[in-house]
C-alpha cells in the first residue's frame, strides 16, 4: 500500500509541474540584440516563432524561428518595436531595446491603429492551476485508500462468515 501511495504522489507531482516560458533580450552594445527563448526546465524553445513588430506602424519587421540553441542575434530596428515569442501554447511580448544612437524623435505613435495590429500576450487558459491539481490529487488518493480499506474489510467479513 505504501508503494502505491508513493507512486501516486510521484505521478501527481509530475502533473503539477508546468512550463513557464521566458523571453530575454540582451543588448550586445553593437546595435544588435540577442533574443533568448527558454522554458522552466532550460531545454530551450527551438522552433518557436520570433517576430519583431513596429510600435510605429504595427508592421512586421522580422520573422524567423528560433534555432536549436534557442538564441538568435539580429540588428536592432531603427524604430520602436516589440519582440514576440510565439509558441503553440503561449505568446510573450517584450518592448525592444533601443539602438546605441536611440530612436529618432520624429517617430510618433498612432496608438489605436498600431495596438490593433500588434500581437498580444496570451497564455494557455486550459491548464489547471496548482491548487486545483493538488486538491484533485488528494481526493483521488483518498478515494483509492477508501476502496483499499473497504475491500480489505469486506474480505475480512466474508472470511468470518465462511468460518461460521
Mean pLDDT of 81-99: 88
For residue 18, the model assigns a pLDDT of 47
Query: Which residue's C-alpha cell is 530551450?
Result: 44
Nearest alpha-carbon partner for 120 in 51, 74, 64: 51
pTM of the model: 0.59
Give CA 164 to chain center in angstroms: 62
- Residue 107 pLDDT greater than 60, yes or no: no
C-alpha cell at 164: 461460521
For residue 39, the model assigns a pLDDT of 82
Mean pLDDT of 7-31: 71
Instruction: Name the CA dihedral angle for 66, 70, 44, 86, rounded to a multiple of 10 degrees.
Output: -30
Amino acid at each position: 500500500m505504501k508503494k502505491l501511495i508513493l507512486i501516486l504522489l510521484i505521478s501527481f507531482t509530475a502533473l503539477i509541474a508546468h512550463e513557464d516560458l521566458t523571453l530575454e533580450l540582451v543588448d550586445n552594445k553593437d546595435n544588435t540584440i540577442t533574443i533568448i527563448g527558454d522554458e522552466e526546465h532550460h531545454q530551450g524553445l527551438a522552433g518557436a516563432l520570433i517576430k519583431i513588430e513596429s510600435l510605429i506602424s504595427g508592421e512586421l519587421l522580422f520573422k524567423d524561428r528560433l534555432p536549436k540553441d534557442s538564441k538568435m542575434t539580429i540588428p536592432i530596428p531603427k524604430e520602436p518595436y516589440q519582440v514576440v515569442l510565439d509558441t503553440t501554447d503561449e505568446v510573450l511580448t517584450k518592448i525592444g531595446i533601443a539602438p546605441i544612437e536611440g530612436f529618432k524623435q520624429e517617430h510618433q505613435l498612432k496608438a489605436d491603429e498600431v495596438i490593433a495590429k500588434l500581437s498580444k500576450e496570451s497564455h494557455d487558459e486550459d491548464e489547471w492551476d496548482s491548487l486545483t491539481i493538488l486538491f484533485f490529487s488528494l481526493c483521488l488518493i483518498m478515494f483509492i485508500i477508501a476502496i483499499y480499506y473497504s475491500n480489505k474489510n469486506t474480505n475480512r467479513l466474508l472470511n468470518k462468515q465462511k468460518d461460521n
